[in-house]
Each structure stands twice: as structure tokens, then as C-alpha cells.
Structure 1
Amino acid sequence: MARTKIDYGIDLGTTNSAISRIEGGEAKIIKVNGLDDTMPSCIAYNKKGVLAGKKAFAVYRSEQEASLSKDIEPNAFIEFKRTMGTDKRYFSSNLDKDLSSEELSAEVLKTLKSFVTDEAVNAVVITVPAVFKNNQIDATRRAAKLAGFEHAEVLQEPVAAAIAYGLDNNKKDGFWLVFDFGGGTFDAALLKVEDGIMKVADTEGDNYLGGKNLDLAIVDEIIIPHIQKNFSIDDILNDDTKKLKYREALKSFAEELKNELSFKSEFNLYKEEGSGTDDDGEDIEIDLTVTQADLEKVLSPIFQKAVDISKKLLERNNLKGSSLNSLILVGGPTFSPIIRKMLEKQICKPDTTVDPMTVVSKGAALYASTVSLSNEIIDKGRTKGKIQIEIGHEASTVEMEEFVTLKILVEKTEGIIPEKVFAEIARNDKAWSSGKVEINQIGEVIETQLKEGKNGFEVTLFDDKGNILESEPKEFTIIQGIGGLNSMQGLTLNWGIEIKKRETGKIEFRQVSGLEQNKSLPATGTANGLKTQKQIRPGMDNDFIKIPLYQGEHGADGTRAIYNEHVYDIIISGADLPALLPENSDVDLMINIDKSQKVSIQAYFPYLDHTAEIDVPTDTVQSVETNWLSNEIRKAKGSIEELKDEGINADKVQKIENDITELEKKFDNSKNDVDGKQEVLTNLRKTLKTIDELSETTEWPKFEEELKEEFYRLEKANKDLGNEKTTQIVNHLRNQLEEVIKNQDIKLGKALAEEIHSVFFQMTLVYQLINFIRQHNQNFGSYHWKDSNRARQLLNEGLQQIGENPTTEDLHPIVIDLINLLPDIEKPSGDDTVLVG
């Protein structure tokens, strides 16, 4: 059938995937092989080609079990979603080539698409975890392109689940919490619903927390200790490469344990053979009885991380579990009675009315029914011998009526169009129809009556004798009861840039106004008043400014930039500019993020009246160097010892120390695993931020003295150099100083210190310029001037100005010209490519 909306939604999961489409206004799962709702996100290669889903998973299981007793080259792969956007490669011996995560994901998408047998699928909405970083979203789009989709939109998984849930229940107001614990990632999304209008209020999550972590915990804490107790496997465990393969191979046993204990009180895992050999060449036999209590002890700490993330999300929005109207479960692991019991005890009783395995796919299809196809795709699908019509309407509404426009597209129709054409719109439940209404190429408006929930309509054309005319499109969908679908998806991370603080010289993450977490998409952010540190000469590639773009979690503003997720370094060089850009020139940034989270940037230079247009590349990948990560962990441990020496709250320090110990243990288990190292790095950054916050608590006594000293210095400068206006400013700062000291607020104190320093700098700048000229005049022969005659001329001019009571404006250009005559090694130090703010 001809479609004008995307109508197809895919849940591209870590362990399982599903595809749905809109049929008659309903989101219907397309059965995998005609039988199942989902298929394993597994790909295998044999000598004849590619396998996907269950067949591939059977190969994967066989390979893993075989690897316990011998070395094999893998040809089956799973959980590659966790390495999307990284440099991880999967080698297939049958193909004799490396494969990226995107290439493997593309095979999953192709397979899902192949189950649609009655029409070509050119466009799709693909879901991604809410806290997927920009490079991971880009990788998902690349996978869609490789799979042959001409148009692919991305939708956050919790949003998709909320859409499907919202249409299948009567709760139209209040707060909903989507608890999305998947095979590889965890998302918690808080939605506020008012009169059916849904809005994502806040999100939190972990890209490296999911079912894989549960399986590996069972391997590490139950299965391997059992094997160690009865056999010698030190050679395996002390070799990083062997250990990685061994843990992966044992995961199938962990899954078996987990599944059996979901409905049994205890289970005996018995493997007489196929478990490999120990260091002495003896066959390993597994005979292990595990109880539900044993399993709960191992899995509860992992589930607790997800519960804690959810509680943190509620707390920062001043809510409790009792404030929620619904707690919606998403993902296979949420079938576990362990997590359901934990959620009921610590937050509230979950709503189990939706299928955690299919709700995301269905929600994606419902959202897809609101997204228009491009004209190019629509035109490709036209059967032009039929009368072509255009149907205009709102895709979703909270009203019970909706105006629909119909018009004949004469230029798109190659068949005969009768002189008079009548149209009838009928709702699929047969409870309402419009009756026959004459339409033409100008258009006609018809008021449709809606029922609550999903509304499918069919359009039929007639001639003046009542004969049915062949036409397309024939169907359309209106979702009643949910409004604002196009704006409910928001930014799940703060977007910002790395800047050098003008007052302190500190390199930090500066949040871009308008791109804060939870801003609705599309979004536009601005960063104005930035300054260049050096001149940029036209046509010179070596003269450039650098704008490092980052994504940061809640509370990222003002943190060290390296603690956040680096997206891309935007470089603007002299080759991009039409003329000389002087030092200290203004730069105004505008960053645009569309609803599918594609990023573009405009950098405006007022001095040149020139705008540089930059599209952020969508093909970047990330890597984590093992030795560097090891060193970062070591430095973190050193910082903990410093906290102990400074007498910081022992309980808080102990918690951080425990976190680092756990991270170190995970790192030891995954030194050759890209996914594992990414997980360690993500959590290490969070711990380093906490260390910084605790370090600040020891700063107060010393900081208070420094702050007072800064203010007294400003007071003296004002007494010597100030006027009535500056005195008013100083008095205002004195009041702020008293408030900061009273509350011992170090964060506000640092902001005040920057303000005091800025006022002092402006007040005394003319004297700093005088000192610069005098110092370089007295030590003229010590500098390696590029043009000594010009330098002497400038210094003489400066000395003359000094004798005439100069202003900052008089001396500043002279000093700038002098600095440019110095070799780079003798210029003031610092990274002068980064913008100052």
C-alpha cells in the first residue's frame, strides 16, 4: 500500500530486536519467521552467507561451548550494540575480515525488514537508549543506511514505551517512571502527563548496565569460584585474552541458571563434558546447585544500581515513589521476580499490563505514524495510474474531533480523473463515516470524529455514478489521547563546550544556553561573548581556534571538561576566514540539534561579519587506551588517600574507595574488551567528579582567607584608582562576601572570587599594560624580537603614552603588537587555540 508516513518502528536491542508497523491504526508486531515477536540480535557467518536470529544464536552457543575445550575463531556475534560508536572490530574467519558494530547491526535490521513481504520498506524509526551518546546515535543511523533504509529517524526507547503504554491505559495525568532494563543498557525516564500531553521531565541512565552484567556476575561470583574450588584454572585467569574468552563462553551456563531459577527454588547445573580442561589437562566437570537466594545475592547489587539511578532521578525532581501514577517495566530482565520485588519495596508496585519485550517496538511504530515520509520516497511508492490524493491532518491530538483536508494531486496522476470526484472517510471500527463529499485539486476540509486511543481511517473515492475509483493513499491514522508527540523527546544530556575561564584560566565544561538536559527537540543553543586568544591570519591553516564539543550528565556545568563525553573538536582556521581576525575578537556560537539529534554549528565573527558553517561529522568512533585507563584508576586511588589524610567524612570516602575497588576488578576482567573498558571509564568519570566535590569541602578555611585577601586587594585598588561607580560595585561585592562566609558556600564563593578578580583586572589593567611596556623596555636585549626596530618603535610610543596619563584603549594595541613580535616560546603561556569565556 502507498504510505505517506513512516509507519514502521524497530526496537534494535542488545539481545533481542523486534519490528512493528501501523495497520488500520493499530501498532502490530510483525512476526519473526511467522512465529515469534522478537528475534535474537545475533549474527553468524558460514561459508555460504549470513545467518541471523535464532539460527545465528544456535551457532553462537555452539561456538561458545566449543571454545571451552579448544581455541576457535568466532563467526557468531552478539551484544554488539554495546560497542556501537567505538573502534571495536569483530573478526570473522569465514569472511576473513573485520566487522564493525554498525555492520553487524545492519544485518539485524536487514533481517527484520525481510519479514515484511507485502511492501518495500524504505523508512523506519529505530529506537536507541535515552542516554546513548551522540556518536552511538550516529552509528545507529549508519547501520540503518547500510541496511538500505533511505530515511531513518531515532527515538529514545523510554519515550517509545511511554507512547505505547499511554494509549493502552486510562491514566492521562500524573507522573510516570519508565524503568527500562535491557540486555545491555539501563534507562530511567520520568514523564509528566497533563490532559494527555506527555513530556519527558528528566532522564538518567547507564549505557553499560543491563542483562549482560547480570550474566557476567553469575559467571564471576558463582560459576568460576565453583570451578576454581575443584580445578586449577590459574593459567586461564591470569591471561587477559584467555580470561575474556572464558567468561564469555560460560555466559550460556549463567543464562540457563538465571532462566531456570525464575520459576524454581533451586537448580542443579550439571555439565559432565564440554566445559574445557584445567591447567593439568583434566576435563572440567560442573556439578553446581544454586538456590534462588544464591542468585538474589549475586544479582541484587546490579539491580540495585538501576533502582538507585531511578531514586536519584525522583529525588532531584522532588518526588517519591508514592508520587508516581505508573511505573512501567521495559526489557527482558524486568521479568525477574528479584527486580520486581525490589522496585515494589523501594519505589512502588510496577504496572505489568504491557509486554516489556514488545512495548518499545510498538511505541516506535506509533510514533512513526506521525512522521511524514520525504516527497522522494512517497513518489517512488506511487502507482500513478491510480488517482493520487493528499491527506492533511494532525497526527496526534487530545481533542475528540480533527479536521482533515483532502485534495486531488493532478500533477501526480497519470490515469483519467472524472469531472466530479467524491470522497468518503470511514473510521475502521465502522462507527463513524463522513458520507460522500466532493473534492478537487483545490482541497476540501472534512471534520472527523475520533474515539479514544488509536484511530484508523480509510478513504474511498467515487465518481458521480457511485462507482469506486482506484486511489491512493487509502489509509491514515490519528492518535487521540496523546498530544505533543513531536516535542516530547528531549535532550538527555547537557551539551557544552570546553572553554578557558577568563578570570581563573581554568579549562572547564561550559553548558551551552538552550541545550540543557531535558530541553525539547529540536533545540538551538547559543554561547555568546567568547574571545579568541590570538589573531587568526587569513589563508593560514596553522592559525586556528578550537571548539571542543562535549556532552555532560546532570551537574556537568563547571566540571573539568575531561570528565564529560567528548563529541568532536571543531577547528576554524585562517583558511575558513575572509580576512585577519585580531586577538581578543568576539565569537558567537549557535548550535542546532534536530529532532533526530543531528548537530550543526554556526560560528559568527562580528569583527568580520562572517559566519562559518560546521556540520559535526557522523562517522567518528571512540577508543579507550588500556594503559591510560589503568593510570587514571591509579591516580584516582591516590586522590582517595589524599582525602583520607585531610580527614574527609570516613563513610563517604569509604564508599568511593569501594567504587574504585569494584572498577579496578572490572578493569582486570576486561583489559582486552572495548565494551568493558568503556563501562569502566564511564563509571570512573562519575567517581572522579565525586572526589572533586569532596575535595572542595576541605578547601573552605584556606579558601576563606584567599577570598578575603582578594577582596581587600580590590578595596585598596579602588581606594587608589576607583570612582563613585566602582565604589558602588565594591560595596555590593562586600555584601555578597559576608553572605558567602556566613554560609561557607564554596561554590558561590568561587563564583564571587571570579567576579572580584574580574573587577580588579578591569580596574588595574592599565597598570598591567604599563608594567608590561616598562619591563620589556628595561630588558629589551633579553628578547628575540622578530623585528627589533619595530619593537623599539612600539616601546618608545608606549613610553610616550605612559607620560601622558594613558587609558587602557591607548596602550592595549601597542602591547598586542609587541606580543606578536615575540617568538612563540617567549609569549605568555597557555593553550591559545581554546576560546576564552
Structure 2
Amino acid sequence: MKTINFAIDLGTTNSLIAKYDDGTIKIYNNPIGLKQTLPSCIAFRGNRTVIGDKALDYLEKDAENICMLFKRKMGTQDTYYVPSIDKEMSPIELSSLILKELKNFVNDEEVLNSVVITIPASFDTIQSNATKKAGYMAGFKEVVLLQEPIAACLAFANTSNTKVNEKQNWIVYDFGGGTFDVALVEVNDRELKVTDNLGDNYLGGADFDNLIVEKLIVPFIEEKLSLTNLWKDLKSKTTNFKGLYFELLKIAEEAKKELSHYEDTEVELDIDINTENFYESFTIKREAFEELIRPKVEQTITFIQDVIKNNQLLKTQIERVILIGGSTYVPLIKKRISEAIGVEVNSSIDPTSAVALGAAYYAGSKPATVSDDEITKEKVVEDSVDFKLFYEQNTRDLEELITAKINSKEVGNYRIMRRDGGYDSGVKTLDDGSFSEFVPLLEGRLNQFKIQLLNSELDVLKTIETVAINQGSYNVQGQPLPNDICMEIDDLDASTTRLEKVFAKGSILPLKKKIYKTASKTILQQSQSNLIINIIEGNSRGLPSSGLSIGYIEIFGKDLEEDLIKGTDIEIELEVTESRDLKINVFLQACDQEFKNVFSESERAISVNKINMEINTVLGDVEALIREHNSEENFEYSQQLETIRVGLIETQIAASLITDDDVSDAKFQLDDKKRKLIQDFDDLTRNKVIAKEIEEYNESKESLEYQLSYEKNEHFRDKYSRIIKNEREVINSGNKYLIRAKIKELDELYYAIIKSSDENFISYFLNLKFCTDFSNQRRADKLFKEGEKALDKQDYKSLRHIVYGLTALLPDHEKEKQKNFKDDSRTGLS
């Protein structure tokens, strides 16, 4: 059996390639210069493409033909125009060139068909698929993605002498050149499990460089040359300053590195501006640099505190913080983490190579599904031999249990052999179609085994070559889903659509689930009506528009062979692979039709105009709520709303200062900030809505309990007990839809009790007297007079019909909402 073995850390600023080789890790050096890291920078020189350090050298003379920092635009439709080849290059194409160059580091010592490529834990599905696409474009036949915090933990756990006897919580603080992740990792003596993570895909060391350029270098140049708007001009595709922008970023990066070791640094500028040479120098002190980057550093501290708080942990329950990523060399970062968290900050592993190192450990235990040199020839009868194997791929023990279940009457025996010849179980008899065997392991090595399944004549019916156990390494308990995966469905009671959680954040990939829904509308053959299957990645409690659509199937009337009638069953199977491909399979039972698709979307567009439009839409709601709560003197709540309003306006102002041709990633940062502010608004208002729902729940429950106190029918009491059995879980869920469903159950039971006896309509009638918004007040007054007479005569049967008449005169708010919730607004699922 062949394992993947090779791993690549595809970084924003630097990339590496490593290989697992029988328990040891080799990080390859660049044949040119012999450095381990390859700068993620590409220079196009006519028919010549230069990658890495040499490409950086061209920044000073030909920066407009240089591409760098493109990882931050992975998954977007943004491209880089290269004048020397007159071509737009996508981030995927550029990343594939980096991957191809890293393959050259291996010096053709073997064919690289399979590889593990690392991604930030907070990469969404589209960004992940873009990375995978770059791998295939680079010529790999198999690409497995691994989250960077998992790789970092594997590197630390497998190379340090840390002894873990009981469960511990670690924080992985990953501050790279272009992205930031913080992950909470649960560790025991055998395995690692990422239990939660937060991050920002547009926060990294490159932002420090940008701040140095924007706040220190550009003002210095503007003052010396009496220029204005230089910062805006630097980032525009339509000016001649694009090359200068990247040249200044390189100067800023060097200054940042110097300030990580010294208290000050001299910045020397030898650049061409408007065809004239500008040569000047000035000094930057570490104190000024730290003041400049402090807000960014504080953002990362907030992420750490949030991930601890979100998991109901105390700071004292965090055993250590592991630092990775080149930006962690900045002294302020380590200092602020120590001050804020108060736990051990561990920087013992090389922050620049840790991810590649850990990914190589993972690759060494991951079976390759593509192989050129290992094809096992088996007999035809083998296809009928069905089996299941269970064993740990990574272990700290010196022996490991292999368990198998064989579903074949022909197989009666088995034999296990270690590939180095050091262990042979001999032929043994199956016990009721299964076996459990402890096998010895060579310490600190990859142990490969061959299992033969034999018949009673000891003929080999099947040979299993895929068993590999890595001794001395930690086992990874899968890769967690960074966000909820939800389906948009119709909420007919609320006359809107909402998200229904399919897979929860933190679930271990791969995932598969079958869901049964009903059609919420009729779709006739050849009609323009449609059924929408919209799969969204995001917070399941948020608005559908706040998430990211990762899979969308639209089924029209013209696609149907039979009418789809409202209320009929719809079967939907969803699968998310380990590398985040989404597979959707829809089966319409009434039509006996199946629709399926595999989604691996790798691009999305972001428009500055769209950012402004979405902010305008929300701003109106925010400002209306502020006025409402100010009038009610609820100043604390309105101040929270005001903070969101100011943030939205600041984002809008910043967006108005950039254009769609901006070469920096400012618009992606603004879009990210906009989504977070809208999510904050959603959270804040949702809490208010939930409070109202809980209040209504308690009122419904109180009314029902009052009615039950006079009710002798035990059937009603039993039903009430069943309804409120899980009320604590429902109330604490913070899900307004679950609470609303409980209110509906309570109200239905209340009305059932009322209708069970004419006398029960007395209290109902008396409650209606407090209503003031009847559609026909004169008619209502007449019915109330008749009701009073019926009460005097104890004519409760007549009172029942009077109550029905009064109820019919009440305004039906639900019907008004239904008018706006037309068929074309619905998904068709409920």
C-alpha cells in the first residue's frame, strides 16, 4: 500500500514542501539558493516565468509584472493583469504555478501524483475548492486538504517531549502572512481533535506591511514631494503606481522583520516616482510600529477570548498556546497573549515550517487512492468478498488491534503479515466471520501490513494491501466543519424562509445525511414554478442572506414528468467530502425522478456597489430601531445598535473610497467586515425576538395551566406533560423557530380543551372583551350584548357560536403575511 507522504504548505507569503519517510520528515530545499521556503511571488518576463526569491528581485525594476499575496483572493473572481504577457491571471492559476515550482524541489526522485495541501481552518467551501483546483491544475491526480491548526498540532505533538496523560485543551494561534486562525484543540495521550475555531481570512502579516506603507512611508513621500492621494493611486490598476505599491510592500516587510529583533530600523527608499528617482531614508521605532499594529493584534486576542468563552471554558483550563505563522515573530503578539490569557505561550517549533512538518506526518498515514506502481492483481471472485476493517492509523502504542468483519461464506481463514517480514500471524480461522488481532509495531515508523483472506482449501481469495499504522504519531480525529451547513426552507407560519441545520459546525468530515421534506407548493408540468434546493454555509440561526450559498439546484415545471403536488414527499441526500466537495441528490417520489449535482465552486464575485447596497438595506432597519428604543428610553439597547450603525457607516465610507479596479484586497476585507456587522445586528435583534417569543411561550403556558386546573380529563394533562418535557432545551436553544413550534403546540392544546366543553367558552369570551381591533366594531358590540345575555341564561352552547363570530372579526395578520409570501418567494420545501 502506498501512502500520500508529500505535503505542501501553500502560504500567502511563503510556501514549503515536505515528505514523510518512515517516521522522519524531510523539508525540501530550493535547488536554487538552498532555502526551505519559496516566496509565493511570481514574475512574468515575456516568455519567461520566474518564481520565488528571483521574482522578488524584480520588484524594484518591473513590479507591474509581479504577482504576490494572491492567496488572499482565492475563491474570488478577481484577477491579476500581467502586461508582459497581456493576460489576466486568476489566483488559482498563480497558485498552481507555485505548486508546480515546489514539485521541482523534489528533483524527480519520484512521481508526485498525490499531495496534502494545507488551508486555514476558517477557509469557506469556495476557498477550499479553489485551493484544490489549483492542485489539480498543477498536475496532481489526488489532492487532500488539511486544516493548518491540525497540522501545527501534529508537528508540536510529534516532535516535542510533551507528555499528555489526561485530556488537555490547547490553543493554536496561527498568524500567517495573509490569514489568521485560532483553534481550540482537545488532546489526550492518543489523538488530537479540533473542537472549535475562529478566524479572519483577510488578517495577516501583509496587513502590517500595508499599515507601514499607508501610515508611515506614503506620508513621508507625500511630504517630501508635495504629493496628494498617493495611497489611493498606489492601489489602482488604472495608474502607473501598481509596481511601486508592491515595491513599497517589500520594503515595509523588511522593516517589519527588522523591528521584530531591534528597537528601530532605518528605511531606505530608492524608488522611481513619475519618472524621477527618489532617494531618502528615515527611521521607524518599534514603539511607533507596535502602536500602528496594536488594533490588529487586539483583534486576534478577541478571537482567542471568544473561542474560550464560546466553549464554556476558563482561561485556567487552557494548557498552552502554540504559536505558528511568520507574524508571530513580532514581540508584541507574544506579549499580549501572555497578558490576556495568562498561560504558557509555546514557540518551540519553527513557526514558518510547523504546518508543512505536521502536514507531512498526516500525509504519511493517509492512503493514496492514485498509484502508478502498486496495482494488485486479484481473482474475479474477490469482487464478491465484502469486508470492513477497523484500526487506528496513528498510535503511540507498540501494538495495535486490527478488527475485521468479513461478509462472505467462501472466506474461512485469514493471515496478517508485516511488509518488512518481521511479523506473520500464520493462517488462522475466522470466528463467526470476523477476527481481532493485536499486531506488533516497529517504533517510530510507518508499519505496513498485508492481510490475506483464504477459503477452506487455503486459496487466497482477496489480498488487502491498504493497512498502514504510524507508530509514535498522534491520531487526528478527522477534520472539523468550520461552519454550519444548512438548507433554506419555507417557514409557512412566519411567511418567510429560514435556515435548517443539516450539519453542525465542528462535525467531523466526511459527512452524509438523508433528509425528508414535503413540497410547500404545487408545481405543474411546463409551468414556470420552481423547487429550490439552496445549501448555505453559515450560522444556522442567522438570516439566509447572511450565509454563503455553496450548492444550488433549481427544478422547474418543464423539468418534471408529472405534476409535483403540495404535500408530497421529497427525499434529499447531502454529502460533504473530506475535501469539502458538496454532493446533492434530490428524489421526487411522486414524479419518480432524480436530480443530482456535485458542487465544487471555486470563485465568487465581490462588488463594491453590492457592499454599499447591502449596507444601505440594513442601515434603514438599524436606524428605525434606534429611534424606537430612544423614544422608549431604552438607551442601553439603542447604544448597542448605534455601535453597529457607526461600524456600517465607516465600512460604507471606506468602500466609497475604493473602486472595483483596486489591486489590494481592501474590498474583500470590507465585505468580511460588513457580513460580521450584519451578523451582529442579526444576533442582537434575534435575542430581542427570542425574548418576546419566550414571553409569549410563558403566557400561552400560563393560560393553558389555568384551563387545565379546571379540567378533569387526564388525556389533556398527559399531552401537556409531553409538550413541556423538553422545554428547557428548547428555551435554551436560542432558536426562535423551535420556541414558536412549542407555542403552537400549547395553543392547539388550549383550543382543544376549550372546544371539548361549551362551558370552557366563558373564559374565552371574557378575554375577547379586551380586544379593540375588530374589523366591524358595530357587529362586535352586538355580539358582546348577545354574549352577556347567553351568560345570564347559562346558555353556553349559544355562547360558543358567539365566540366563533367574534373571532372571525379579529384581523388575520397571518393572512396579510401570506399575501406577501407568494409562490415565487418560496423554496418549495417545508
User: TM-score if structure 1 supplies the norm length?
Assistant: 0.74
1:159 correspondence with 2:141: no
- The structure-2 alpha-carbon separation of the partners of 1:291 and 1:542, relative to structure 1 and needing over 3 Å to count, comes to same
Equivalent position of 2:682 in the other structure = 692
Q: Alpha-carbon deviation of 1:375?
A: 5.6
Matches of 1:275 and 1:140, distance apart in 2:
36
Equivalent position of 1:505 in the other structure = 495
One-letter code aligned to 2:362 = Y
Q: Pick from 537, 541, 544: which aligns with 1:551?
A: 537
SS of residue paired to 2:194? strand
Q: Alpha-carbon deviation of 1:293?
A: 0.8
Runs (5+) with no aligned partner, structure 1: 65-73, 383-390, 406-421, 427-432, 460-472, 766-824
Matches of 2:468 and 2:29, distance apart in 1:
22
Q: Alpha-carbon deviation of 1:605?
A: 3.1
Equivalent position of 1:590 in the other structure = 573
Equivalent position of 1:263 in the other structure = 261
1:449 correspondence with 2:441: yes
Q: Pick from 93, 108, 116: which aligns with 1:125?
A: 116
Equivalent position of 1:26 in the other structure = 24
Residues 404 and 448 in structure 1, CA contact (< 8 A), matched pair in contact too: no
SS of residue paired to 2:320? strand
Q: Alpha-carbon deviation of 1:642?
A: 3.7
Q: Alpha-carbon deviation of 1:528?
A: 3.1
RMSD: 4.4
SS of residue paired to 1:350? strand
- The structure-2 alpha-carbon separation of the partners of 1:474 and 1:629, relative to structure 1 and needing over 3 Å to count, comes to closer
Q: What does residue range 550-629 of structure 1 map to in structure 2 within 5 Å?
A: 550-552=536-538, 556-574=539-557, 577-608=560-591, 610-616=593-599, 618-629=600-611
Q: Alpha-carbon deviation of 1:350?
A: 1.6
- The structure-2 alpha-carbon separation of the partners of 1:381 and 1:501, relative to structure 1 and needing over 3 Å to count, comes to same
Q: Alpha-carbon deviation of 1:713?
A: 11
One-letter code aligned to 2:104 = S
Matches of 2:590 and 2:49, distance apart in 1:
58
Q: Alpha-carbon deviation of 1:458?
A: 12
Matches of 2:293 and 2:71, distance apart in 1:
22
Q: Alpha-carbon deviation of 1:87?
A: 0.9
Q: What does residue range 530-545 of structure 1 map to in structure 2 within 5 Å?
A: 530-537=518-525, 540=526, 542-545=528-531
Residues 369 and 477 in structure 1, CA contact (< 8 A), matched pair in contact too: no
Residues 424 and 437 in structure 1, CA contact (< 8 A), matched pair in contact too: no
Equivalent position of 2:366 in the other structure = 371
Matches of 2:707 and 2:438, distance apart in 1:
75
Matches of 2:71 and 2:36, distance apart in 1:
20
Q: What does residue range 41-440 of structure 1 map to in structure 2 within 5 Å?
A: 41-64=40-63, 74-117=64-107, 118-169=109-160, 170-172=162-164, 173-237=167-231, 241=236, 245=242, 247-271=245-269, 273-274=270-271, 276-277=273-274, 286-347=280-341, 348-374=343-369, 376-379=371-374, 395-402=393-400, 434=422
Matches of 2:397 and 2:289, distance apart in 1:
49
Matches of 1:247 and 1:547, distance apart in 2:
44
1:676 correspondence with 2:666: yes
SS of residue paired to 2:106? coil
- The structure-2 alpha-carbon separation of the partners of 1:725 and 1:435, relative to structure 1 and needing over 3 Å to count, comes to closer
Matches of 2:35 and 2:21, distance apart in 1:
18
Residues 25 and 456 in structure 1, CA contact (< 8 A), matched pair in contact too: no
Matches of 1:425 and 1:733, distance apart in 2:
59
Equivalent position of 2:758 in the other structure = none
Q: Pick from 5, 15, 21: which aligns with 2:13?
A: 15
Equivalent position of 2:37 in the other structure = 38
Equivalent position of 1:529 in the other structure = 517
Matches of 1:684 and 1:9, distance apart in 2:
35
- The structure-2 alpha-carbon separation of the partners of 1:369 and 1:615, relative to structure 1 and needing over 3 Å to count, comes to same
Residues 531 and 829 in structure 2, CA contact (< 8 A), matched pair in contact too: no
Residues 160 and 363 in structure 1, CA contact (< 8 A), matched pair in contact too: yes
Render the CA deviation track for 1:212-263: whole Å, top value 9, x for unaligned. Answer: 2111122222223333444433354566726883654432232122111111
Equivalent position of 1:772 in the other structure = none
Q: Alpha-carbon deviation of 1:532?
A: 3.2
Residues 9 and 125 in structure 1, CA contact (< 8 A), matched pair in contact too: yes
Matches of 2:689 and 2:350, distance apart in 1:
52
SS of residue paired to 1:303? helix
Matches of 2:292 and 2:827, distance apart in 1:
47
Render the CA deviation track for 1:598-623: whole Å, top value 9, x for unaligned. Answer: 2112223344455433322x245200
One-letter code aligned to 1:141 = K
Matches of 1:503 and 1:826, distance apart in 2:
12
One-letter code aligned to 2:828 = L
Matches of 2:170 and 2:498, distance apart in 1:
35
Matches of 1:107 and 1:705, distance apart in 2:
59
SS of residue paired to 1:497? strand
Q: Alpha-carbon deviation of 1:145?
A: 1.2
Matches of 2:114 and 2:25, distance apart in 1:
16
Matches of 2:650 and 2:20, distance apart in 1:
46
Residues 419 and 447 in structure 2, CA contact (< 8 A), matched pair in contact too: no
- The structure-2 alpha-carbon separation of the partners of 1:446 and 1:62, relative to structure 1 and needing over 3 Å to count, comes to farther
Render the CA deviation track for 1:717-769: whole Å, top value 9, x for unaligned. Answer: 99xxx9979966996799899999xx9x995676444544577699999xxxx
Matches of 1:738 and 1:446, distance apart in 2:
48
Render the CA deviation track for 1:631-669: whole Å, top value 9, x for unaligned. Answer: 223444445544543234466345435543553465355
Residues 25 and 478 in structure 1, CA contact (< 8 A), matched pair in contact too: no
SS of residue paired to 1:377? coil
Residues 76 and 603 in structure 2, CA contact (< 8 A), matched pair in contact too: yes
Q: Alpha-carbon deviation of 1:332?
A: 0.7
Q: Alpha-carbon deviation of 1:4?
A: 0.9
| Identity of matched residues, % | 26
Matches of 2:120 and 2:20, distance apart in 1:
22
Shifted more, 192-201 versus 693-702: the winner is 693-702
One-letter code aligned to 1:324 = I
Matches of 1:370 and 1:566, distance apart in 2:
33
- The structure-2 alpha-carbon separation of the partners of 1:393 and 1:236, relative to structure 1 and needing over 3 Å to count, comes to same
Matches of 2:376 and 2:222, distance apart in 1:
62
- The structure-2 alpha-carbon separation of the partners of 1:321 and 1:756, relative to structure 1 and needing over 3 Å to count, comes to closer
Matches of 1:665 and 1:171, distance apart in 2:
52
Residues 533 and 832 in structure 1, CA contact (< 8 A), matched pair in contact too: no
Q: Pick from 785, 805, 822: which aligns with 1:829?
A: 822
User: TM-score if structure 2 supplies the norm length?
Assistant: 0.75
Matches of 1:536 and 1:55, distance apart in 2:
63
Matches of 1:336 and 1:827, distance apart in 2:
55
Shifted more, 681-690 versus 219-228: the winner is 219-228
Matches of 2:688 and 2:397, distance apart in 1:
57
Q: Alpha-carbon deviation of 1:687?
A: 0.8
Residues 44 and 77 in structure 1, CA contact (< 8 A), matched pair in contact too: yes
Residues 343 and 349 in structure 1, CA contact (< 8 A), matched pair in contact too: no
One-letter code aligned to 1:479 = N
Runs (5+) with no aligned partner, structure 2: 378-388, 404-415, 431-435, 451-463, 630-634, 753-817
Q: Alpha-carbon deviation of 1:578?
A: 4.3
Equivalent position of 2:648 in the other structure = 660
